[in-house]
Amino acid sequence: MTVPKTADVGGWFRTADDEVALKSAPDWGPGTGGFGLASSDDELAAALEVLRRRRTMVLTGAGMSTGSGLPDYRGPDAVPRSPMLLSEFLGSDLSRRRYWARSTAGWRWFKQARPGLTHASLAALDGPLDVVGVVTQNVDRLHQSAGSSRVIDLHGRLDHVRCLSCSATLCRHWLQTRFLSLNPSFAARMAFLEEEAVSAPDGDAEVDRTEDFRYPACRACGGTLKPDVVFFGENTRRPIVDAAFAMLERADALLVLGSSLTVMSGLRFCRRAARDGKPIIIVNDGATRGDALATTRLHGRLEHVLSRWAAMLPA
């Protein structure tokens, strides 16, 4: 079954804390090749045997959620996009209006996303394998919905909004109702704007020209509200990074699933594992920035690899 793609509205899925990514890929489009390769069952079985004998930390990227309709960044079908910088969001009222307008138009599509076969298969491996935890670069919370335990949301979570002044958090779902009440003419055209958000995810869409879109301030202090995710030009909060590295310290191996490792926020865990002499298994459809660090490099769609692993384990 083909899962319809969800709009990348407002730059939801463009989260990173490495400016190098902008310099190396300013168009945020498809990456270098290697797509379509598939590792053999023998190669998959050998890698699984490495994991079965070790405590494993799993690092996941956008490739985990493409089966749920959420866009990736570097797959063969990736659409070139221009990410919004943190400085742009903070420094321009018009940029915030555009961001929140696009977010409002696409919120229903995002909320419809459900865990896919990749999420379910990984959660099922939690018992047969000694998985110490999952560190995800995704902001969709689909790992938690699928039943994975001990998940660290490295780049935050899109269902939360945070005040940049007092750090108060609120539910993004509640904010959606507030956006619609503040913008009745926008709300009246939601059906059209929602469809346009999918067909023109980062282009010349009507929602981009909504310069009079109104957005609320923090109810507690009047400060600026921002999605509780990491924008380009923004650092991941130190306690979260520390918790992720502590998880890696407890592990004997690192398994990377569905990440091109283009940005340092993910690549640094591979570098630490390599420095500590821990096996690194990378599974991705397409080349990654960490391939030279991998002790085992597997190719193929995650749906296939994870389901084959599940079939190879004893019932």
Show which residues are catalytic: 155
Query: What are the start-end ranges of the H helices in 57-214?
Result: 86-91, 93-112, 117-124, 142-146, 172-182, 184-188, 190-199
Helix (H) or strand (E) holding 158: strand 156-163
Paired residues of 297 in beta bridges: 282
DSSP letter at 141? -
SS3 139: coil
Distance in angstroms between the alpha carbons of the first and the last residue of the chain: 27
What are the C-alpha distances in Å from 86 to residues 11, 91, 111, 208, 229? 11, 8, 24, 18, 11
Count of beta carbons in the 10 Å neighbourhood of residue 274: 17
Of 292, 268, 236, the C-alpha closest to 59 is: 268
Rounded to 5°, angle at Cα 79 from 264 and 297: 45
Of 219, 223, 200, 231, the C-alpha closest to 88 is: 231
d(CA 82, CA 22): 9
